[in-house]
A and B are shown apart, each in its own frame.
Chain A
Amino acid sequence: MNDIKLGKKLIKRINEINRKDIKIMEVCGTHTQVISKYGISNLVKNITLLSGPGCPVCVTHESYIDASLDIIKRENVKVITFGDMIKVKGTNKSLEDYRDKFKVIYNPLDALKIAEKNKNLDFVFLAVGFETTAPIIALTIKLAKKNNISNLYFLVSLKLMKPILNKILKLNTDIDGIICPGHVATIMGSEYFNFISSTYNIPSVICGFEALDVVAGIYTLVKSINKDNFDFSNLYKRCVKVNGNKKAHLEIKDVFKVSNGLWRGIGEVNNSSLIINKKYKNYDALDKFNIKISTKKQANKCICSEIILGKKLPYQCNYFSKECTPMNPKGPCMVSSEGSCANYYKYRGAF
């Protein structure tokens, strides 16, 4: 996939065509990683590449972490989580402070096996992610029901990309183009992102995750921006169909319903999350443990929220690489390997 010769030609053309100072935002943690790893920001002139809210860990609200810590402290209960979540702090602490009380998995089906093997304990799976992960969590909940697993619950924080993009593009009118998240598009379909160009009059492009995919995406956007067009293109046709994965849509619809969602540093965004519906409420950890997620705004001195909204870059934060490092993250963007700050720290060095 990575034709270096073509990649070099595209970068040369980007720099020849572009006559403006432009800002392009990507909204997928894996795109953030690709851009940083290959030093793409340094190869394109007069283009600022911004990382939006594309890392689920970075946008997981403090109150959700506090709820998981409330659960983890209880007797005979253990938490199951994706590895990225363990260092994210709630109001004060993170899961890492309770090392013997959680298990890290890659495949949600492992949560079923763990629960089945340890029937004397209750387990809570921290189900975080975007539309890409939602059908998988839905299937896992359905399999738990089918297999009569009664000691596994789900603390769900599944976010939707469309409402948050609407919020960002209303708040930040400086953004000239959007690189859309390829795997959210695999599930939802290319049409899901068509609104960016048609509503906000800026070009947008769906990209894959090889260096060439991203460079081709930037080239496509730069061409449109310099012609004052607002085209919408799907360059990830090998994995993204117009209407997405219909089976995945059915699974999401069967298990979840759309609700307002809390985003770290941003607050409540209307209709931006998925919660477990009535049919599967026996699997909802909020019901089981009688927990309410607080919507209270948390005081945070770092500027993660402005970074996620594309208003500032990581090294503009006073804490970056000083008090806040991947070894001791202060804000969520430094925690995950997909976070904007963690990528600046790893690939561009401390400032």
Chain B
Amino acid sequence: MFWKYGLFFSILSGGIWGIFWQIFFTLVGILTLGTPLSLELSQIMIIGPLAGFIYIKSQKFLSIKFHLTAIIIISFLIYISHLGNPYHAGDENQLIIFILILSTSFFIWVSLNHSLYNLSPGKLSKHDIESFLIKFMWGIGLIILILITLIPFYIMIMTSLKNQQSLILNPLDLSVNLNTDFKTLFNSYIELFTNFNFHLFLINSFIVSCTTVIITLFFSIPGAYALARLRIPNKKIFSGAVILIYLIPSIVLIIPLYIIFSYMGLRNSLFGLMLVYPATTIPVALYMLRGYFSALSSEIDDAALIDGLSRVQIILKIAIPLSKPAIVSVGLYVFMIAWNEFLIAFMFLDDPNIFTLSRGIMSLNSSEIPQQHLMAGAVIATIPVMVIFLYLEKFLISGLSAGGVKG
């Protein structure tokens, strides 16, 4: 079986890493140069596996000197195989092209060193194969994950910092001239807060989101506790029905809601949103919290009952302190749903003074308003959630219930 040999894995991973980094650095080249580059994979499909082959054959005498030589050889091979004109970039950008090729080969070699380290070229045991696969997948997965989160964010921030002229000149160029003064650099942001009422939108979004979190937790904590602890007839049907509500897409509900809320005069008001949002978030919150509450030992509740607490007091003094991480994460989740919600806000709100952020950004989407304002609005909408998330992260990790009952 050829696929049980280390040699096969080294060639395979060399090929995959080669293609991966070639795509990546072509993208980087496009974003930094601002000129279109052609993505060529046929050459790297031979050079990558070759690198893998070299790595595994020379494992016995790996040294820094050897690593450097290998990287330079790979770069040279890439350059030669493209007949001296990689990416079809033209002559004026030779230095950057050279750096791109060097980093491509550097990262191919580092990745190989990570996933093939200590792998013998001969027949492998099951354990060796598994540990190789885990290292390999882990590396690829991690890098892809980082890229798909960072690249849009990077594009968003860079575009928001540009001015109209440079944006129209070359929308692909994402380098920013940092020598300009503060006012021109952050022009879009200043404009949004002075001329476009974004301070109002921020406040509105905060009010709506925080109220949604409070209402959701107020109803879902006792509800989830009851579902987790009390013996209620037809409990299963009830909790199933709650999940069913969540499964109905909001687009189905929105027309009837629009009509009803119009009749009741709740449309075009933040109060209306505060009614609708909890209705969509409570089912999820209930479901998540119920799982956590049922994982807590029910003997603690029994002990509290014997110590003279009522069920309400148990929720306040025992269940909530013990499930702080769960409540924080549910709260955060609900906050993000409410903060990012667009569809209902878009349908319900007409008055620019009570726009939420997502609705406000939508109002920027017209041909009269420059593109970078839209991006700046997106950054303003993203950053608060990120800050809150980073701040609350420590609560999410710690599990408080450890130690109270025998583990």
Interaction A to B: no
